[in-house]
Amino acid sequence: MGKASSKGKQTIDQTTKKRNVEVCVSIDFGTTYTGYAFSFKKIHTYMFGNERKMPTVVLLDPDRKLAAFGSEATTKYLELCETNEHEGWYLFERFKMALFVQDAPLDKDIEIEEILEKKLKAIDVFTEAIKYIKTEVISALRHRTILDTTKAEVKSEADIHWVLTVPAIWNDLSKKFMRDAAINAGIPSEVLTLALEPEVASLFCKKQLRYEDSSGRRYIVLDLGGGTADITIHEVNPDGTLKEIHQPMGGDFGGTSVDQMFVRTLIQVFGAPAFQNFKKNSMCEYKDLMQKFEEKKCRFDGQNKIRIKFPSQLSEIFVRETNESFESSLRQTHFENDINLVTDKMVLSVKLVKSFFDDAIDKIVRLINDLLNKVSGIDDIVLVGGFSESKYLQTVMRSTFGNKIIIPSYQSSAVQHGAVIYGYEQKGIASRVCKYTYGIARMMEFKSYHLLSKRVTIDGVDFCDDIFYKHIEIGTTVNVADAQNVEAHEYFPSQSEMRNAVLEVYASPKQNPMYVDEEGCQLVGLVKVDIDPKGDINSKFLVKMIFGGTELRIEVTDVKNNIVTISSVDFIG
């Protein structure tokens, strides 16, 4: 594990370095679209530079090197498809969701599937994507430097503070994965900040909606992206900073879930073999179908049917494989009254299209209602993110929550703009709420109330294994400025003459878990600690978990040698 500091001072140095840079760049790496924005310190803190949003699509060549990104990646791939040269290439779309894991720790070697289900390591794909965006940003900055009459300069990459956004509902290893990918892409760790998407959107909305002087105002930020719904609740402090008043909530029910329901319907009608054959052998038509549905989905208002050009190749493949017409197959499904062919158009009923949205919207509404029941005095519910632009979703939200619903301008770019603000105003978030109970696995002296199955005998002494040794409790409010002023817990080597120890960090949705293998408890990651190899089993080290920032940090003090190290959780293996 890389250590942030052998003396515990590098955190201060990094903060100073970020504060002194000439420009702040945000990267909003989304499931469907990726955007960036930047602001020169000498011009005006919130005058955004060339901002851009691109489809999050990566094309790798047969040597697994980046060939194109964004719309260019799709265009290039379709050109290859037309001449049947695409087999050795890799087109990755909507791959960010691979990092949203809930029931198990993220595997650092996780693989992701491209459009034809070939697999590559996720870290390589993410690294290539971020490297492209970094190059794109630097090119834009240099162009801006030449044209800008204010003479703002970026003399070197060291003048840039990079802010990379991640969902608040991601676990700590997913955040570390993104940091590692950014570092692999050439962004130095000391000028890289991870920011939570709904938080930075909240900073942007606070300014746009002029909440700075509304002390006590409470509002929910509902960040609806392509992959996730990410929800946070803030209250405006008297000094204009924001206080989080409930731990982040959300899940994997963003806008792409609507697309998945559409595809699932087509598979039910045509069968999986025919649909997969269509996707593999008629890629241009498949991509056109999905693009047309995406456009119709955004404009769907819940009142009118939608019409999409029907790919004749899909019907031909189906007939060839089944000796059955599309119409006769449709009559055998429960979609007979909801899907019709009119000339070359597929007409989908209002009822059917609404059903594509139902699961995601129902989950969003239930979560918001749950939060409104738990937290009193909510004034507004602010919708941001690409999925929040859906006319139908807006209609449902307004009919459910009335005048509480606020739809700001620039809602789809709120995260990338807010991340620039966060780069200058990290103290704008004054406090956060811990979303889990965090602790470390350890053995303790066996007591009568412990499970017999957990008893371990060492040198004639009975210990209880797998104890969840709590450091912080779910729902605890942590003031960012005082985050380091937390209690240090003592740990001891399990054997004498150990050179290092590995601490297993766990998170639980319970307030007081007893064991690390209880239901809902998950292994967050490992903390590797170097210790005095000439010590003894009674030597000790002190461990602090520091929760105030966007990333969990671990401070370990070797008491005997008075050495402090600051680390983050690391991957298993």
How far apart CA 154 and CA 134 sit, in angstroms, is: 14
Pair 465, 539 in one domain: yes
Percent of the chain with pLDDT over 70: 89
- The total number of structural domains in the chain stands at 4
Pair 362, 450 in one domain: no
Pair 138, 68 in one domain: yes
Band the pLDDT of 250: cuts 50, 70, 90: very high
pLDDT higher than threshold 70 for residue 154: no
**Is residue 203 situated within a structural domain?**
no
CATH number where 34 lies = 3.30.420.40
Mean pLDDT for 154-165 is 84
Query: Is pLDDT larger for residue 536 or for residue 552?
Result: 552
**Is residue 4 situated within a structural domain?**
no
Pair 388, 530 in one domain: no
Pair 275, 334 in one domain: yes
Pair 46, 178 in one domain: yes
**Is residue 289 situated within a structural domain?**
yes
How far apart CA 472 and CA 172 sit, in angstroms, is: 15
Element (H, E) at 318: helix 312-322
Give pLDDT, residue 39: 85
**Is residue 301 situated within a structural domain?**
yes
pLDDT higher than threshold 50 for residue 121: yes
Pair 16, 92 in one domain: yes
pLDDT higher than threshold 50 for residue 395: yes
pLDDT higher than threshold 90 for residue 146: no
CATH number where 498 lies = 2.60.34.10
Give pLDDT, residue 485: 82
Question: Residues 253, 256, 260, CA angle at the centre, nearest 5°?
Answer: 100
Give pLDDT, residue 149: 44
Band the pLDDT of 50: cuts 50, 70, 90: low
pLDDT higher than threshold 80 for residue 51: no
Mean pLDDT of the chain: 88
Band the pLDDT of 565: cuts 50, 70, 90: confident
Phi, psi of 77, rounded to the nearest 5 degrees: -65, -40
Give pLDDT, residue 23: 87
Which domain does 174 fall in, by range? 10-198+416-429
Pair 339, 269 in one domain: yes
**Is residue 59 situated within a structural domain?**
yes
**Is residue 276 situated within a structural domain?**
yes
Where does a domain end: 308, 340, 355?
355
Where does a domain end: 355, 376, 397?
355
pLDDT higher than threshold 90 for residue 566: no
Lowest mean pLDDT among 7-21, 296-310, 388-402, 415-429: 7-21
Pair 225, 304 in one domain: no
Nearest to 96 by CA among 21, 2, 177: 177
Band the pLDDT of 2: cuts 50, 70, 90: very low
Mean pLDDT for 281-286 is 92
**Is residue 389 situated within a structural domain?**
yes
Pair 377, 492 in one domain: no
**Is residue 2 situated within a structural domain?**
no
Task: Report pLDDT digits (tens) over 493-510.
Answer: 666 555 677 889 999 999
Q: Report how far apart, in Å, the C-alpha atoms of 54 and of each of 58, 76, 182, 323 are.
A: 11, 15, 18, 42
Burial class (CB in 10 A: 0-12, 13-18, 19+), 349: middle
Pair 295, 320 in one domain: yes
Where does a domain end: 429, 458, 474?
429
pLDDT higher than threshold 50 for residue 480: yes
Pair 365, 444 in one domain: no
